A = this chain, B = another copy of it.
């Protein structure tokens, strides 16, 4: 940590800071900058940042040197984290996310009823996917929109898993739902609007199930990794990150997929990361090219909305792919993955 003193700071101001740092058990060195002194602190950055040094007289600003996350960092753990999904489902062979195999999680935005969910699931399975997405509890911008089937939706997902063998990825909206959703889900999804719901993250840290953590639409990469840190530091190492688009000034698309974030996260962290081109664009026409871009950028998989009747979908129909478009998309995923040494056990 570097503390930049104001040009007008006196030696009393400097001493106050230095003495306080030493009292906390850390050393510092004084460096003469241009018109101002710098106090370079050796160690203790996380503890010292908690102190509001910028409120001290004579302090111009505080410059952190370290990343704010620890357990999520590549520095802490240099080899890639591989998350095992489905180990507790007898009869189904588990899969790994973050290893050489790419995984495509596909399915409807919301679980609408059993018939259509099963129909979509069968198409998803036939295309070579191993995971089904589908929301039972839906966070909707309007109080007047369809809010999901709730527990009934979980029952549908269980039946569909029994029928197809697909693993289930579904959203948990608040801590009081964790228990019930955990019984059904193979991967617990945290939505973009909950990425900074720290209470939820803490509780998910005490669960064993893998967590799919979507990036907040307003979160920096560092804040995204800090959210993962909440889960990791509470004991659950099975975090899968998901880039799903950030909010920018561009309005032609619903969000802007931050493709830079894929290699940036791979550099900063050991956690797997996938891309959601459906929410990330909001336009079904753009889903395939952005999905392929995600794989080319090094993502470990994709999260794609698929609906067999998008015209009558109860939620987000305009960004859903029809199932008949999946095989061709997945064939390209496989081929591009192969260029980067990844496999996809698809069609």
Contacts and interface: CB of A to CB of B under 8 A. Distances in A.
A193 B338 CA distance: 39
| Prevailing SS type, chain A contact patch | mixed
Contacts of A251: 220, 251
Interface residues of A, number: 114
A23 interface: no
A221 B267 CA distance: 30
A311 B55 contact: yes
Contact of A229 (B66, B142, B257, B267): B142
A68 B257 contact: no
Given A33-B65, A40-B38, A259 B45 contact: no
Interface in A50-85: 50-52, 54-56, 63, 65-66, 68, 75
A50 B218 contact: no
Stoichiometry (number of copies): 4
A292 B296 contact: yes
A286 B329 CA distance: 25
A200 B123 CA distance: 36
A292 B42 CA distance: 40
A248 interface: yes
27 contacts: A1-B33, A35-B75, A36-B65, A40-B40, A46-B144, A50-B145, A52-B313, A52-B317, A52-B318, A55-B310, A55-B313, A63-B65, A139-B196, A139-B197, A140-B198, A141-B223, A143-B202, A173-B199, A193-B198, A220-B252, A221-B252, A259-B290, A263-B285, A264-B283, A293-B297, A335-B339, A339-B339
Interface of A: 1-2, 4, 7, 29, 31-36, 38, 40-46, 50-52, 54-56, 63, 65-66, 68, 75, 139-147, 173-176, 193-194, 196-200, 202, 216-218, 220-223, 226, 229-230, 233-234, 245-253, 256-264, 266-268, 280-281, 283-286, 288-290, 292-298, 310-314, 316-318, 320, 332, 335-336, 339-340
